[in-house]
Structure 1
Protein backbone atom coordinates (compact mmCIF):
# COMPACT_ATOMS: atom_id res chain seq x y z
CA UNK A 1 0.00 0.00 0.00
CA UNK A 2 1.33 3.47 -0.82
CA UNK A 3 2.02 6.00 1.89
CA UNK A 4 -1.03 8.24 2.03
CA UNK A 5 -0.11 11.90 2.53
CA UNK A 6 -2.95 14.29 3.26
CA UNK A 7 -2.32 18.02 2.79
CA UNK A 8 -4.88 19.91 4.86
CA UNK A 9 -5.97 23.15 3.18
CA UNK A 10 -7.94 26.10 4.55
CA UNK A 11 -8.75 29.64 3.47
CA UNK A 12 -5.69 31.87 3.44
CA UNK A 13 -3.07 29.11 3.33
CA UNK A 14 0.21 29.87 1.57
CA UNK A 15 0.19 28.15 -1.81
CA UNK A 16 3.86 27.17 -1.90
CA UNK A 17 3.56 25.61 1.57
CA UNK A 18 1.14 23.08 0.10
CA UNK A 19 2.32 23.04 -3.51
CA UNK A 20 5.96 22.37 -2.67
CA UNK A 21 5.35 19.13 -0.74
CA UNK A 22 2.67 18.17 -3.28
CA UNK A 23 5.19 18.33 -6.14
CA UNK A 24 7.90 16.55 -4.16
CA UNK A 25 5.73 13.55 -3.25
CA UNK A 26 4.21 13.25 -6.73
CA UNK A 27 7.66 13.47 -8.33
CA UNK A 28 9.03 10.76 -6.01
CA UNK A 29 6.08 8.52 -6.94
CA UNK A 30 6.62 9.19 -10.65
CA UNK A 31 10.31 8.29 -10.44
CA UNK A 32 9.43 4.97 -8.84
CA UNK A 33 6.90 4.29 -11.59
CA UNK A 34 9.56 5.10 -14.17
CA UNK A 35 11.65 2.36 -12.55
CA UNK A 36 8.78 -0.08 -12.96
CA UNK A 37 7.95 0.02 -9.26
CA UNK A 38 4.72 0.83 -7.47
CA UNK A 39 4.36 4.52 -6.58
CA UNK A 40 5.21 4.95 -2.91
CA UNK A 41 3.06 8.01 -2.31
CA UNK A 42 -0.60 8.88 -2.70
CA UNK A 43 -1.30 12.59 -2.19
CA UNK A 44 -4.70 13.84 -1.05
CA UNK A 45 -5.74 17.50 -0.90
CA UNK A 46 -8.49 17.97 1.67
CA UNK A 47 -10.42 20.61 3.57
CA UNK A 48 -12.70 20.39 6.59
CA UNK A 49 -16.10 19.91 4.97
CA UNK A 50 -14.66 19.43 1.48
CA UNK A 51 -15.43 22.96 0.27
CA UNK A 52 -13.34 25.12 -2.06
CA UNK A 53 -10.55 27.14 -0.48
CA UNK A 54 -8.79 30.32 -1.53
CA UNK A 55 -5.06 30.59 -0.99
CA UNK A 56 -3.38 33.82 0.05
CA UNK A 57 -3.40 36.03 -3.04
CA UNK A 58 -6.68 34.74 -4.42
CA UNK A 59 -6.06 31.39 -6.14
CA UNK A 60 -9.02 29.08 -5.50
CA UNK A 61 -8.73 25.30 -5.34
CA UNK A 62 -11.77 23.14 -6.04
CA UNK A 63 -12.84 19.47 -6.06
CA UNK A 64 -11.10 18.78 -2.76
CA UNK A 65 -11.63 15.80 -0.49
CA UNK A 66 -13.74 16.25 2.64
CA UNK A 67 -11.30 15.61 5.48
CA UNK A 68 -14.26 14.65 7.67
CA UNK A 69 -14.59 11.48 5.58
CA UNK A 70 -10.93 10.51 5.99
CA UNK A 71 -10.45 7.99 8.78
CA UNK A 72 -6.66 8.03 8.74
CA UNK A 73 -3.61 9.02 6.74
CA UNK A 74 0.04 8.04 7.04
CA UNK A 75 1.37 11.58 6.78
CA UNK A 76 -0.51 14.78 7.60
CA UNK A 77 0.93 18.02 6.21
CA UNK A 78 -0.33 21.37 7.50
CA UNK A 79 0.70 24.46 5.47
CA UNK A 80 1.15 27.89 6.95
CA UNK A 81 -0.66 31.17 6.51
CA UNK A 82 -0.14 34.92 6.73
CA UNK A 83 -3.15 35.29 9.06
CA UNK A 84 -2.02 33.03 11.88
CA UNK A 85 -4.53 34.42 14.38
CA UNK A 86 -7.45 33.52 12.12
CA UNK A 87 -6.19 29.98 11.53
CA UNK A 88 -5.46 29.14 15.16
CA UNK A 89 -8.83 30.61 16.11
CA UNK A 90 -10.66 28.24 13.75
CA UNK A 91 -11.91 25.54 16.09
CA UNK A 92 -13.00 23.20 13.31
CA UNK A 93 -9.59 23.41 11.64
CA UNK A 94 -7.71 22.76 14.88
CA UNK A 95 -10.01 19.87 15.74
CA UNK A 96 -9.34 18.39 12.30
CA UNK A 97 -5.58 18.65 12.83
CA UNK A 98 -5.96 16.93 16.21
CA UNK A 99 -8.09 14.10 14.82
CA UNK A 100 -6.01 13.37 11.73
CA UNK A 101 -2.74 13.55 13.65
CA UNK A 102 -3.91 10.82 16.02
CA UNK A 103 -4.05 8.34 13.14
CA UNK A 104 -0.95 9.56 11.28
CA UNK A 105 2.52 8.10 11.63
CA UNK A 106 3.92 11.56 10.92
CA UNK A 107 2.41 15.02 11.20
CA UNK A 108 4.34 17.85 9.55
CA UNK A 109 3.91 21.60 9.30
CA UNK A 110 5.30 24.10 6.85
CA UNK A 111 6.18 27.64 7.91
CA UNK A 112 3.53 29.08 10.27
CA UNK A 113 1.62 25.84 10.14
CA UNK A 114 3.65 25.16 13.29
CA UNK A 115 1.25 27.45 15.17
CA UNK A 116 -1.65 25.17 14.22
CA UNK A 117 0.27 22.13 15.45
CA UNK A 118 1.05 24.00 18.66
CA UNK A 119 -2.60 24.93 19.21
CA UNK A 120 -3.54 21.29 18.58
CA UNK A 121 -1.22 20.27 21.41
CA UNK A 122 1.31 18.49 19.21
CA UNK A 123 4.34 20.58 20.17
CA UNK A 124 4.10 20.44 23.96
CA UNK A 125 7.60 19.74 25.30
CA UNK A 126 8.86 19.32 21.71
CA UNK A 127 11.41 21.29 19.65
CA UNK A 128 9.98 23.07 16.63
CA UNK A 129 10.75 25.68 14.01
CA UNK A 130 8.86 28.05 11.73
CA UNK A 131 9.53 31.05 9.48
CA UNK A 132 12.44 33.05 10.86
CA UNK A 133 10.25 36.13 11.31
CA UNK A 134 7.88 34.18 13.55
CA UNK A 135 10.31 32.30 15.78
CA UNK A 136 9.90 34.66 18.73
CA UNK A 137 6.10 34.53 18.49
CA UNK A 138 6.21 30.74 18.42
CA UNK A 139 8.51 30.72 21.45
CA UNK A 140 6.19 33.01 23.38
CA UNK A 141 2.92 31.25 22.56
CA UNK A 142 3.37 28.88 25.50
CA UNK A 143 2.51 25.79 23.46
CA UNK A 144 5.98 24.70 22.30
CA UNK A 145 8.77 22.94 24.16
CA UNK A 146 11.59 24.87 22.48
CA UNK A 147 12.18 26.80 19.28
CA UNK A 148 15.03 25.97 16.92
CA UNK A 149 16.51 28.62 14.62
CA UNK A 150 18.69 28.35 11.51
CA UNK A 151 17.40 24.97 10.33
CA UNK A 152 15.15 24.03 7.43
CA UNK A 153 13.25 21.46 9.47
CA UNK A 154 13.05 19.81 12.87
CA UNK A 155 12.27 16.08 13.05
CA UNK A 156 10.86 15.03 16.40
CA UNK A 157 9.93 11.54 15.25
CA UNK A 158 6.18 11.62 14.81
CA UNK A 159 5.97 15.40 14.51
CA UNK A 160 8.01 17.52 12.12
CA UNK A 161 8.10 21.27 11.54
CA UNK A 162 9.83 23.31 8.86
CA UNK A 163 10.96 26.85 8.31
CA UNK A 164 9.40 29.33 5.95
CA UNK A 165 7.86 28.67 2.56
CA UNK A 166 10.41 26.79 0.41
CA UNK A 167 11.71 24.98 3.50
CA UNK A 168 8.58 22.87 3.08
CA UNK A 169 10.13 21.44 -0.08
CA UNK A 170 13.23 20.46 1.88
CA UNK A 171 11.05 18.93 4.59
CA UNK A 172 9.08 16.93 2.02
CA UNK A 173 12.33 15.57 0.57
CA UNK A 174 13.26 14.54 4.11
CA UNK A 175 9.91 12.74 4.36
CA UNK A 176 10.74 10.91 1.12
CA UNK A 177 14.07 9.92 2.64
CA UNK A 178 12.38 8.61 5.77
CA UNK A 179 9.81 6.57 3.86
CA UNK A 180 11.79 5.40 0.82
CA UNK A 181 15.44 6.16 1.49
CA UNK A 182 17.89 8.97 0.87
CA UNK A 183 18.70 7.80 -2.66
CA UNK A 184 15.13 8.47 -3.82
CA UNK A 185 15.11 11.81 -2.03
CA UNK A 186 18.30 12.84 -3.83
CA UNK A 187 16.89 11.70 -7.19
CA UNK A 188 13.68 13.59 -6.52
CA UNK A 189 15.59 16.75 -5.64
CA UNK A 190 17.60 16.40 -8.84
CA UNK A 191 14.41 15.94 -10.88
CA UNK A 192 13.06 19.13 -9.31
CA UNK A 193 16.39 20.89 -9.98
CA UNK A 194 16.61 21.47 -6.24
CA UNK A 195 19.78 21.83 -4.19
CA UNK A 196 18.90 19.60 -1.22
CA UNK A 197 20.89 18.19 1.67
CA UNK A 198 19.80 15.57 4.22
CA UNK A 199 21.31 17.91 6.81
CA UNK A 200 18.53 20.29 7.97
CA UNK A 201 21.07 22.95 8.87
CA UNK A 202 22.28 23.26 5.26
Structure 2
Protein backbone atom coordinates (compact mmCIF):
# COMPACT_ATOMS: atom_id res chain seq x y z
CA UNK A 1 0.00 0.00 0.00
CA UNK A 2 1.37 3.41 -0.97
CA UNK A 3 2.27 5.78 1.85
CA UNK A 4 0.91 9.27 1.18
CA UNK A 5 3.38 11.79 2.56
CA UNK A 6 2.42 15.45 2.78
CA UNK A 7 5.16 18.05 3.21
CA UNK A 8 3.66 21.23 4.61
CA UNK A 9 5.53 24.26 3.28
CA UNK A 10 5.37 27.88 4.37
CA UNK A 11 7.25 31.10 3.69
CA UNK A 12 10.73 30.99 5.14
CA UNK A 13 11.02 27.20 5.48
CA UNK A 14 14.51 25.72 5.13
CA UNK A 15 14.74 24.23 1.66
CA UNK A 16 16.88 21.24 2.60
CA UNK A 17 14.50 20.35 5.44
CA UNK A 18 11.86 19.53 2.83
CA UNK A 19 14.03 18.87 -0.22
CA UNK A 20 16.21 16.29 1.52
CA UNK A 21 13.37 14.03 2.71
CA UNK A 22 11.57 14.65 -0.61
CA UNK A 23 14.54 13.23 -2.51
CA UNK A 24 14.88 10.29 -0.12
CA UNK A 25 11.25 9.21 -0.45
CA UNK A 26 11.18 9.65 -4.23
CA UNK A 27 14.44 7.74 -4.62
CA UNK A 28 13.16 4.85 -2.50
CA UNK A 29 10.07 4.62 -4.70
CA UNK A 30 12.16 4.84 -7.87
CA UNK A 31 14.31 1.92 -6.73
CA UNK A 32 11.22 -0.17 -6.09
CA UNK A 33 9.84 0.70 -9.53
CA UNK A 34 13.20 -0.30 -11.04
CA UNK A 35 12.63 -3.70 -9.40
CA UNK A 36 9.21 -3.95 -11.03
CA UNK A 37 7.38 -3.19 -7.78
CA UNK A 38 4.87 -0.54 -6.82
CA UNK A 39 6.29 2.72 -5.40
CA UNK A 40 6.14 2.97 -1.62
CA UNK A 41 5.62 6.73 -1.37
CA UNK A 42 3.40 9.36 -2.92
CA UNK A 43 4.87 12.74 -1.96
CA UNK A 44 2.65 15.84 -1.93
CA UNK A 45 4.00 19.37 -1.45
CA UNK A 46 1.31 21.56 0.05
CA UNK A 47 0.71 25.01 1.49
CA UNK A 48 -2.28 26.48 3.30
CA UNK A 49 -4.43 27.75 0.46
CA UNK A 50 -2.20 26.21 -2.22
CA UNK A 51 -0.31 29.42 -2.99
CA UNK A 52 3.32 29.81 -4.00
CA UNK A 53 5.86 29.77 -1.20
CA UNK A 54 9.39 31.14 -0.84
CA UNK A 55 12.01 29.17 1.06
CA UNK A 56 14.62 30.90 3.19
CA UNK A 57 16.89 32.72 0.74
CA UNK A 58 14.12 33.36 -1.77
CA UNK A 59 13.78 30.20 -3.87
CA UNK A 60 10.10 30.04 -4.80
CA UNK A 61 8.06 26.88 -5.27
CA UNK A 62 4.90 26.95 -7.38
CA UNK A 63 2.02 24.67 -8.40
CA UNK A 64 1.65 23.32 -4.87
CA UNK A 65 -1.30 21.42 -3.47
CA UNK A 66 -3.84 23.15 -1.26
CA UNK A 67 -3.51 21.66 2.22
CA UNK A 68 -7.09 22.73 2.92
CA UNK A 69 -8.24 20.09 0.44
CA UNK A 70 -6.26 17.26 2.07
CA UNK A 71 -8.58 15.28 4.32
CA UNK A 72 -6.07 12.68 5.47
CA UNK A 73 -2.56 11.39 4.89
CA UNK A 74 -0.26 8.69 6.18
CA UNK A 75 2.68 10.96 6.98
CA UNK A 76 2.82 14.68 7.66
CA UNK A 77 6.28 16.22 7.47
CA UNK A 78 6.91 19.72 8.85
CA UNK A 79 10.22 21.40 7.92
CA UNK A 80 12.04 23.92 10.06
CA UNK A 81 12.73 27.61 9.62
CA UNK A 82 15.22 30.26 10.70
CA UNK A 83 12.41 32.53 11.92
CA UNK A 84 10.65 30.22 14.35
CA UNK A 85 8.71 33.05 16.00
CA UNK A 86 7.20 34.08 12.67
CA UNK A 87 6.04 30.54 11.93
CA UNK A 88 4.58 30.11 15.41
CA UNK A 89 2.73 33.41 14.99
CA UNK A 90 1.12 32.29 11.74
CA UNK A 91 -2.33 31.28 12.93
CA UNK A 92 -3.35 29.62 9.66
CA UNK A 93 -0.13 27.61 9.51
CA UNK A 94 -0.51 26.39 13.07
CA UNK A 95 -4.16 25.47 12.52
CA UNK A 96 -3.10 23.50 9.46
CA UNK A 97 -0.39 21.66 11.38
CA UNK A 98 -2.91 20.70 14.05
CA UNK A 99 -5.56 19.58 11.54
CA UNK A 100 -3.25 17.55 9.32
CA UNK A 101 -1.49 15.95 12.30
CA UNK A 102 -4.88 14.81 13.60
CA UNK A 103 -5.64 13.36 10.16
CA UNK A 104 -2.27 11.63 9.78
CA UNK A 105 -1.01 8.28 11.03
CA UNK A 106 2.45 9.77 11.63
CA UNK A 107 3.77 13.30 11.98
CA UNK A 108 7.45 14.15 11.61
CA UNK A 109 9.47 17.35 11.88
CA UNK A 110 12.87 18.38 10.64
CA UNK A 111 15.10 20.76 12.59
CA UNK A 112 13.13 23.62 14.18
CA UNK A 113 9.91 22.18 12.82
CA UNK A 114 9.82 20.55 16.26
CA UNK A 115 8.76 23.91 17.69
CA UNK A 116 5.65 23.85 15.51
CA UNK A 117 4.82 20.33 16.69
CA UNK A 118 5.37 21.45 20.28
CA UNK A 119 3.04 24.44 19.88
CA UNK A 120 0.45 22.16 18.31
CA UNK A 121 0.55 20.04 21.48
CA UNK A 122 2.04 17.01 19.74
CA UNK A 123 5.21 16.52 21.79
CA UNK A 124 4.28 16.84 25.46
CA UNK A 125 5.85 13.91 27.30
CA UNK A 126 7.26 12.35 24.14
CA UNK A 127 11.05 12.46 23.68
CA UNK A 128 12.01 14.83 20.87
CA UNK A 129 14.94 16.60 19.29
CA UNK A 130 15.80 19.55 17.04
CA UNK A 131 18.86 21.38 15.73
CA UNK A 132 21.69 21.20 18.28
CA UNK A 133 21.73 25.00 18.62
CA UNK A 134 18.06 24.99 19.61
CA UNK A 135 17.88 22.11 22.07
CA UNK A 136 17.87 24.37 25.14
CA UNK A 137 15.19 26.62 23.65
CA UNK A 138 12.98 23.62 22.89
CA UNK A 139 13.47 22.36 26.44
CA UNK A 140 12.60 25.81 27.82
CA UNK A 141 9.50 26.41 25.69
CA UNK A 142 7.23 24.79 28.29
CA UNK A 143 5.61 22.46 25.77
CA UNK A 144 8.13 19.60 25.81
CA UNK A 145 9.22 17.52 28.79
CA UNK A 146 12.05 15.43 27.28
CA UNK A 147 14.55 16.83 24.78
CA UNK A 148 17.22 14.49 23.43
CA UNK A 149 20.60 15.63 22.11
CA UNK A 150 23.31 13.76 20.25
CA UNK A 151 20.95 11.95 17.87
CA UNK A 152 19.89 12.50 14.28
CA UNK A 153 16.26 11.61 14.96
CA UNK A 154 13.89 10.45 17.66
CA UNK A 155 11.12 7.96 16.87
CA UNK A 156 8.35 8.25 19.45
CA UNK A 157 5.85 6.10 17.61
CA UNK A 158 3.38 8.28 15.75
CA UNK A 159 5.51 11.40 16.30
CA UNK A 160 9.06 11.68 14.98
CA UNK A 161 11.51 14.58 15.19
CA UNK A 162 14.95 15.09 13.73
CA UNK A 163 18.02 17.21 14.27
CA UNK A 164 19.11 20.01 12.01
CA UNK A 165 18.93 20.23 8.24
CA UNK A 166 20.54 17.11 6.74
CA UNK A 167 19.37 15.05 9.70
CA UNK A 168 16.00 15.20 7.98
CA UNK A 169 17.40 12.92 5.29
CA UNK A 170 18.52 10.44 7.94
CA UNK A 171 15.04 10.59 9.45
CA UNK A 172 13.50 9.99 6.03
CA UNK A 173 15.74 6.95 5.52
CA UNK A 174 14.59 5.69 8.91
CA UNK A 175 11.01 6.09 7.71
CA UNK A 176 11.85 4.09 4.59
CA UNK A 177 13.26 1.36 6.82
CA UNK A 178 10.26 1.47 9.13
CA UNK A 179 7.59 1.55 6.42
CA UNK A 180 9.28 -0.69 3.85
CA UNK A 181 12.59 -2.34 4.80
CA UNK A 182 16.05 -1.57 6.13
CA UNK A 183 17.46 -3.02 2.93
CA UNK A 184 15.58 -0.43 0.86
CA UNK A 185 16.77 2.32 3.20
CA UNK A 186 20.39 1.22 2.74
CA UNK A 187 19.95 0.99 -1.04
CA UNK A 188 18.39 4.44 -1.08
CA UNK A 189 21.25 5.88 0.95
CA UNK A 190 23.72 4.29 -1.44
CA UNK A 191 21.86 5.71 -4.43
CA UNK A 192 22.04 9.15 -2.81
CA UNK A 193 25.75 8.59 -2.09
CA UNK A 194 25.36 9.23 1.63
CA UNK A 195 26.32 7.33 4.74
CA UNK A 196 23.34 6.19 6.81
CA UNK A 197 23.01 4.03 9.87
CA UNK A 198 19.83 2.66 11.44
CA UNK A 199 21.32 3.88 14.73
CA UNK A 200 20.14 7.51 15.21
CA UNK A 201 23.22 8.27 17.33
CA UNK A 202 25.59 7.58 14.42
Q: Where in structure 2 are there 5+ consecutive unaligned residues? A: none
Q: Tell me the TM-score normalised to structure 2 length.
A: 0.99
Deviation sequence 1:39-94 (CA, Å, 0-9, x none): 01000000000000000000000000000000001000000000000001111111
Q: Does 1:171 align with 2:171?
A: yes
Taking structure 1 as the reference length, the TM-score comes to 0.99
Q: Deviations over 1:7-65 (max 9, x none)?
A: 00000000000000000000000000000000010000000000000000000000000
Pairwise CA RMSD of aligned residues?
Answer: 0.5
Q: How does 1:14-33 map to 2 (within 5 A)?
A: 14-33=14-33
Task: Please give the alpha-carbon distance, in whole angstroms, between the structure 2 residues aligned to 1:40 and 1:165.
Answer: 24
In 2, Cα distance between equivalents of 1:25 and 1:97: 21
Q: For 1:126, what is the secondary structure of its paired residue?
A: strand
Count of residue pairs the alignment pairs up: 202
Match of 1:112 in 2: 112
SS at match of 1:197: coil
What is the aligned partner in structure 2 of residue 198 from structure 1? Answer: 198
SS in structure 2 of the partner of residue 139 of structure 1: helix
Deviates more, 1:32-41 or 1:95-104: 95-104
Distance 1:40 1:139 in 2: 35
Q: List aligned pairs for 1:12-91, cutoff 5 A.
A: 12-91=12-91
* SS of the residue 2:125 aligns to: coil
- Following TM superposition, the consecutive aligned residue runs of length 4 or more in structure 1 with deviations greater than 3 angstroms are none
Unaligned regions of 5+ residues in structure 1, if any? Answer: none
CA offset at residue 125 of structure 1?
Answer: 1.0
